[in-house]
Amino acid sequence: MSEDEQDEIILEELSLEELYELMHEDLYDGYAEEIEEEVHEALGRGVQPYDILTYGLVAGMDIVGVDFRDGILFVPEVLMAAKAMKAGMAILRPLLAETGAPKMGTMVIGTVKGDIHDIGQNLVSMMMEGAGFEVINIGINNSVEDYFAAIKEHNPDILGMSALLTTTMPYMRVVINALKEEGTRDDIIVLVGGAPLNEAFAEDIEADAYCRDAAVAVETAKKFMAIRKTKG
Ligand code: B1M
């Protein structure tokens, strides 16, 4: 949507569906400020932050992903879209993290070596924080040494790994094997996620579980924490 066209749009007059559509378009065009305004508009209407995230931002990013795959969008445009997505997420983050829940556990999460995609794992971090977990997000491009340093420092219950590329997902096995060699694999719950993964892959690399999305990550983390607590 061009800025002139945007000027003509009165957000308050749009239905929620139209507002989501506008968010998809503005995310596609990488308009961070407009995304911020639209997120505020949806919040002002009392829409749940999780719904804005899911139907506005994540759904918009899916469209970007398809056109990126098909060669319609290129890296600079996708970077702009990612920036707009992050601007929207920044508004929602404190709202999703607002919780009176008792501390559920600690998680270290990071994207694996060679991979710089971080939107998905940031979203997982936000949702986990919202569910009462303490999250140490170590960012992108993490080597075995990076994961180990964070584990030593924070002694987490859960290690979360993210990979968005078919070429980087095998690195998860490298990390898990390093934990085994060190004799600490059974001390930590390993959850993995990212678009190219599936359950069979998680099983094959001997992760504890594959998480399809952030909501599943929260549910799975809670489930494993309950088991861990019963075992004492
Ligand atoms: Co990239 N990219 N990208 N990219 N990019 C993909 C992944 C791709 C599928 C696009 C495509 O072709 N359709 C494709 C990979 C193909 C493949 O491997 N088979 C691809 C490619 C090829 C590349 C480059 C190689 C392009 C190039 O340079 N020629 C390059 C690689 C750079 C590198 O990492 N070394 C590259 C670069 C980039 C950008 C920098 C431009 C940008 C990243 C910006 C950023 O993250 N800061 C980017 C983006 C944005 C994408 C797409 C369009 C969107 C990813 C995203 O943010 N999705 C993506 C297309 C797609 O995935 N459909 C694509 C939204 C996000 C909410 O979903 O990350 O899946 P997702 O996370 C979900 C779940 O997967 C899960 O929960 C999240 C929330 O629900 N989850 C976890 C994720 N991690 C988890 C961890 C957990 C649990 C659940 O731990 C417990």
* CA 126–ligand 1 middle distance (angstroms): 17
Distance CA 61, CA 230 (A): 39
pLDDT, residue 97, reads: 77
pLDDT digits (tens, 9 = 90+) for 27-75: 999 999 999 999 999 999 999 998 999 999 989 988 998 998 899 999 8
Side by side, the strands of the sheet bearing 189-193 are 133-137, 105-111, 158-162, 189-193, 209-211
More confident residue, 31 or 96: 31
pLDDT of residue 7: 63
Cβ contact 197:210 at 8 Å? yes
Position 215 scores a pLDDT of: 85
Low-confidence winner among 3-12, 72-81, 104-113, 161-170 (lowest mean pLDDT):
3-12
Cα(226) to centroid(ligand 1), Å: 31
What is the rounded average pLDDT for all residues in the chain? 93
CATH architecture of 105-231: 3-Layer(aba) Sandwich (3.40)
Q: How far is the CA of 217 from the centre of ligand 1 (A)?
A: 17
**Intrachain domains 3-99 and 105-231 with the same fold:** no
**At the top level of CATH, which class does the domain 3-99 belong to?**
mainly alpha
Ligand 1 midpoint to CA 66 (Å) = 11
The pTM score is 0.91
190: CB partners within 8 A, 6+ apart = 158, 159, 161, 176, 179, 207, 208
Q: Can you tell me which atom of ligand 1 is nearest the CA of 161?
A: 90
Label residue 126 by pLDDT band (50, 70, 90). Answer: confident
Residues with CB under 6 A from ligand 1: 58, 61, 64-65, 68-69, 75, 78-79, 82, 109, 114-121, 123-124, 160, 162, 164-166, 191-196, 211, 213-214, 217
**Domain boundary assignment for the chain:** 3-99, 105-231
Q: Which helix (H) or strand (E) holds 110?
A: strand 105-111
Q: What band does 228 get if pLDDT is binned at 50, 70 and 90? A: confident
Residue 99 has pLDDT above 80, yes or no: no
Q: H helices of the chain, where?
A: 3-8, 16-29, 32-44, 49-51, 59-69, 75-97, 119-130, 144-154, 171-182, 199-204, 214-231
CA of 220 to the centre of ligand 1 (A): 22
Q: What pLDDT is recorded for position 8?
A: 82
Q: Is the pLDDT of residue 15 over 70?
A: yes
The two three-digit tokens of residue 22, written as one number: 């506008």
